[in-house]
Every structure is written in structure tokens, then in C-alpha cells.
Copies of this chain bind each other. A is one copy, B any other.
Amino acid sequence: MGCKNCCSICLQCLFGYETNVMLVINNKGVGALFRLIQFMIIAYVAVYVCWIQRAYQDTDSVISSVSTKVKGNILTNTSIEGVHVWDVPEYVIPPQGEKSFFVLTNVIPTPGQTQSKCPEIPSEVTKCESDSDCIEGHTEVHGNGVQTGHCVQYSDTIKTCEVHAWCPLENDTIIPKPALLGAAEHFTVLIKNNIQYPKFNFRKRNLLHHINSTYLKNCTFDRKTDPHCPIFRLGHMVTEAGEDFSVMALKGGIIGILIDWNCDLEFPERFCIPKYSFSRLDNKNPENNVAPGYNFRFAKYYKNNKSIETRTLIKAFGIRFDVIVFGMAGKFNIVPTIVNLGAALACLSLVTAICDWVMLTCMKDRDQYAKRKFIHLNQNGDSVPLVSKSFKQFILYVHFFFFYAKLDLL
């Protein structure tokens, strides 16, 4: 008794190794079951968790920057405008080459608009018979201006409410068919995409290292022959999205250019390559839709000789291409590895529980096993084989219970 004794106890605590006392049973059934479940769990970890799901990896989301450049010219010959050549600054809006760009395919121009008064386009709510049908200052939701309160002649037979507006009003009831710039399907777009995974300090471009500039100047993307060429024909993209360019060009729409940068950074950098896919993003189903297609209005402003502002209003139908970059990169990290390994190990302890249950209920020698597996300690501190018997009875009761329950059901 004293420090020496105290120290020896401490040392015993530190270096005394505790290990479970095990009961070894030579039963082929339970043994085989045990090994089988064990094997299944190990196989699940090795094949599914590690190989397929790569759960030993830490992940990061992609950060991306995109620039685009469209090329192509179209000549149109209409009765209103005559011969007109459309080049990139005219039909790509906005012109900067952002990741979302719009290519004009159909146009309803309204030249010579000035601020004045004119009769509304006839519709159920704008038709009138006298001034009392029009309200001064009223704005129709789908109208083109603010009502003056007068009812005026629109044509020989129709009277409509007069509006303050940019007159003459646009009449967009008839959409040019076929689309004015339907030949836009032959245009090409160069997409430059720069990505990074900041967590792994990884950067890459879709202009791959092994491709030289001579090839890039002449190639066009094709899933089979040129899968890494970043120059896309508009018509090809629309076709891959399952649409008909000439139909889509009429009323416009939105096409997603999806660039998938999912990468396993365990492999060398050259295996991390973008995968392109295309799909239509807007709803072409007319049933649960409003304003199908894609269009917007913009204007070019002029001042005439008398310094009065006039404008050409353009209702622009066209296809908006949204470059959508997504992806996750994975790289080995000890934390998810330990987590997955630990979880699998913990599940192995389930195996023992299952096999114990099988051993103690289904085996012929279950009483022997139970007697040896469990050491019972009664309240007086003596070990007695009491529960072993009770346990056997309990199992019997359970069996009887299910037996009678079945009889009742029949």
C-alpha cells in the first residue's frame, strides 16, 4: 500500500491488455453463414463503395467561366427591307459572348415608331363603339399603351380605343413562315470553357492540350469523329436535343449546352475531359404553358431631321443557348475513407448478432451453446444455469405462440 502499489496499478491499467473470451463452435451451418455474410459485406465495400461510388474521395464542385463566339452570315430578301445581310453584331444578342447567348431566327420589325396617339390593335377588350367604352389612363395588360379615352377608327369597319404609345403599333399576329433566318442552323459557335476545382487546386480548359490550333481552326463537333472539338454547328446541337431547327426557328426556344466535368482526380489530368450534351430547356407543350417559344422586343433609336426621336421596334424570335457547366471532382481523402471503412466494420458486428441468433434458436445443440456462451450470475453473486433453462422455455413459448396463431388463421 503506497505509491509503489499505486504505480503498479496504473501500469497494469495502461499495459494490461483486455481481450474477449471466445467460444469456438464447430458447426458448419453457422460457420458458413458467418463467412458468407462477412464476404458479402467486404465485397460490398470493395466493389460498390470503393470502386463504383468512390466513397473514399473528398469532393468539390466546379467553378467555371465561359466565352462564346458565333460565326456566320445570312442574306435575306424581303418585300419590306429588300436585300439585307445579317452578320454577327446584328443577330447575336448580347454581342459580348457570354455563357448565355441568343441567336435571332425570326423577326417582326416595326420601323418608324414615334411617341403619338393611335388606335389599339383590335381584340375583345380593345374594340369599342363610343368614347364611353374607353377609360382615360387605363392600361390593358396585353395592350400596347395607355388609353386616351377616345374611340377611333382602326379600319373601315372596326373601331378601337385610342392609346398613347409608340405608333404605329406592332402587329405581331402573323409570324413569318418559314423563319426569316432559318439558315442560322449552319452557323457555328466556338465555346471556350475554363474550369477549376479550388479545393484540389485543379484547373483545366476545354481546349485540350493535345489538340493543336490547326485542327481547332477547321473542326466541327461530332460525337463520334470529333468529340473534343469546341466548335458546334447550331443545327447539330438542336438536332441532338431532339428538335427540328426549322420548326424551332419560327417561335424560338431555349437550348441547354450541358458540359459535364465529372472527374476522378486520382487519374492523371489528361483523363479529365468534358462531356457535351444538348437538351431543350423550355416547355413546348402548349397545354400548361403561356407565351411558348422564346422572344423579346428591343428597339433601335434614331433622331430624324427635326430632332424627333423615332425607333425601329424589333420583335425578335430566336434560340437562346445556355451553356451550363456542372460536375464534381473527387480525390482521395482520409476522412471519408475512415468513415466508410468504420461503417463497414460496424456492420460486420451485425453479422455476429445474426449468427448468434441463428446459433441460439435454430441449432440442434442450442442448449449446449447457450450454456457455454452465457455465464449467469444471480443476485447472490453465484453463477447458476437458471436462465439457460428459462431461455429454452421462452423459445418454446414463442414457437407455440406462432403455431397456435397459424392454426387460428386457418
Contact = CB atoms under 8 A, between A and B. Distances in A.
Given A145-B73, A146-B74, A345-B349, A289 B207 contact: yes
Nearest to A394: B9
A32 B142 CA distance: 73
Interface residues of A, number: 156
Contact of A22 (B287, B375, B381): B375
Contacts of A63: 258, 324, 326
B355 A17 contact: yes
Copies in the complex: 3
Given A63-B326, A342-B342, A355-B19, A26 B379 contact: yes
Interface string A248-286: 000000101010100000000000000000000111001
Contact of A212 (B288, B320, B393): B288
Nearest to A69: B291
Nearest to A215: B288
A162 B16 CA distance: 92
A239 interface: no
Contacts of A283: 192, 194, 205, 207
A362 interface: no
A223 interface: no
A115 interface: yes
Highest count of chain B CB atoms <10 Å: which of A55, A286, A339, A390: A339
Contacts of A378: 26
A48 interface: yes
A12 to B, nearest CB: 6
Highest count of chain B CB atoms <10 Å: which of A211, A305, A372: A372
Contact of A297 (B72, B88, B115): B88
Interface string A25-41: 11110111011000000
A93 interface: yes
A115 B83 contact: yes
- Interface SS of A by simple majority: mixed
Contacts of A137: 75
Highest count of chain B CB atoms <10 Å: which of A19, A73, A208, A287: A19
Interface string A105-117: 0000000000100
B338 A343 contact: yes
Contacts of A208: 288
Interface stretch (A94-102, A121-129, A152-160, A172-180): A94-102
A305 B302 contact: no
Contact of A14 (B31, B290, B320, B394): B31
B394 A90 contact: no
13 contacts: A12-B390, A17-B30, A19-B25, A21-B373, A22-B374, A24-B374, A85-B165, A87-B165, A95-B298, A96-B320, A97-B294, A213-B287, A365-B381
- Top 4 A-B pairs, shortest CB-CB distance: A342-B343, A15-B31, A368-B381, A342-B346
